[in-house]
Amino acid sequence: MKRIVFLILCILVSVVTYSQSNRKIRELERIRKATLAEIENTNQLLKETKKSTRSMLSRISLITNQIASRKKVINVLGEEISAIDEQISDMNRDIARLSKEHDEKKGNYAKSMRSMYQKRTTQDKLLFILSADNFAQSYRRLRYLKEYADWQKRQALLIIESREQVARKKQELEKVQAEKRSLLKSREVESQKLQSEENDKKEEVQELKKKEKELNEELKKKRREAQGLNNQIERLIAEEIARAEEEARREAERNRKKAAENKQEKVAVETPTRQAESKGGYAMTVDERRLSGDFAKNRGQLPFPVSGRYTVISYFGEQRHQELKHVVTNNNGIDVRVSPGAEARTVFKGEVTSVFVVPGYNNSIIVRHGNYLTVYSNLSSVYVKKGDKVSTGQALGKIFTDTEDGNSTVLHFEVRKEKDKLNPLQWVKR
């Protein structure tokens, strides 16, 4: 009985382990395919980006992203191979166990058959039954012989079943081993592609170093344009804060007058509906405070602000170029490269508070979410106007495609709270 329980436990552990290993392999496969899709998208964007001083940094950023994705694929392939190795070890143990059980069953069955033929001919069986002391004993002996024969039949079926089980396990093992060989080949191919991409990056960097003067001029121009955008955004935010403060002041004045008029009647003074979270901040209505709270709760879960596939080519904050040490960029948001025709989409419900134009960034839109704001810049056309209520994922406008720069299509996106700039990648779900 203990042996049977032990075998059942071994089978259960084996099934659970195999199932967990299989889930891990499938999840790694999903990650690998998603990363390969990112690489394919980057490849397409690189083909669309012509080699010019103006777009060189963008090209190098794309290649850097491509290399990072390629390394991720190689690492995932390594994890898949390790997981498959574990699976192969488990399967070999299962095959050894099943083969041993099969051999034991065959041995026991053969032994019982030999014993039966040696000691129990048909006449012996009949004599065994008839030599009983009474009818009841004869019946018990007859039943014993029948049960023994049934046991032998069951054993024969179990032997066939265990043989088939071993064969199935061996087929599964062959399939998994073939999958491992395929993954090893894929890793080799990806490693070769990585080497090629790293060589391409070196060539691009060397070419850009030769155009250092032109690059510096281009960077100065971009900094001026970025500063112009930031000044406009801060001016518009300041105006909104001032308007909200004025509304809050008027409301407070109305409440004071109302309280003075009703002083003798002891009427309770109404709580102001507009209140700022901090001194000098945007005075929010009750609905805006609720919206602000909902926006904050969705940190890290907001949808990406573009339609279709995308690649982030410029990150938040001060970034020093890895190869070009003298090149330092400072971004108040992120720059997202997409395919021509892509649209900017709002990451959360809110209200359009500004639609404006800034040189270098074309049309820009500010959407307010309580005391949080999102900014969408470099749009060729706009689908909304100031005062519009927008919903999560709603298209705001078409992203500008620069036909003079190899159809470069880039959205500049920012997230702010009051006057503070926030890292958008900490708010969106990638």
Residue pLDDT, tens place only, 90-141: 878 877 777 777 667 666 666 666 665 555 555 555 565 556 667 676 667 6
Residue in the structure block whose two tokens are 């309580």: 370
Strand, helix or coil for residue 93: helix
Residue pLDDT, tens place only, 143-194: 766 676 666 667 666 666 767 777 777 777 788 788 888 888 888 888 888 8
Burial 295-334 (b: 16+ CB within 10 A, else e): beebeeebebbbbebbbbbbbbeeeebeebeebebebbbb
Q: Evaluate if residue 404 carries a pLDDT over 90.
A: no
**Running DSSP on this structure, what letter comes out for residue 46?**
H
Residue pLDDT, tens place only, 265-309: 554 545 567 888 888 889 898 899 999 999 999 999 999 999 988
- Are the beta carbons of 278 and 417 closer than 8 angstroms? no
Tell me the H-state helices in 210-281.
212-261
When the pLDDT of each residue in the chain is averaged and rounded to a whole number, the result is 79
The two structure tokens encoding residue 190: 């990806």
CA torsion, ordered 12, 15, 21, 24, to nearest 10 deg: -100
Query: Do strands 420-422 and 389-390 pair parallel, antiparallel, or not at all (unpaired)?
Result: unpaired
Structural domains in the chain, sorted by start: 2-209 (no CATH), 212-426 (2.70.70.10)
Q: What is the mean pLDDT of residues 361-390?
A: 96
What is the spatial distance between Cα 386 and Cα 364, in angstroms, rounded to a whole number? 12
Q: Evaluate if residue 12 carries a pLDDT over 70.
A: no
- Beta pairing partners, 283: 276
Residue in the structure block whose two tokens are 């080949």: 185
- Are the beta carbons of 405 and 368 closer than 8 angstroms? no
pLDDT band at 142 (very low <50, low <70, confident <90, very high): low
- Beta pairing partners, 420: 417
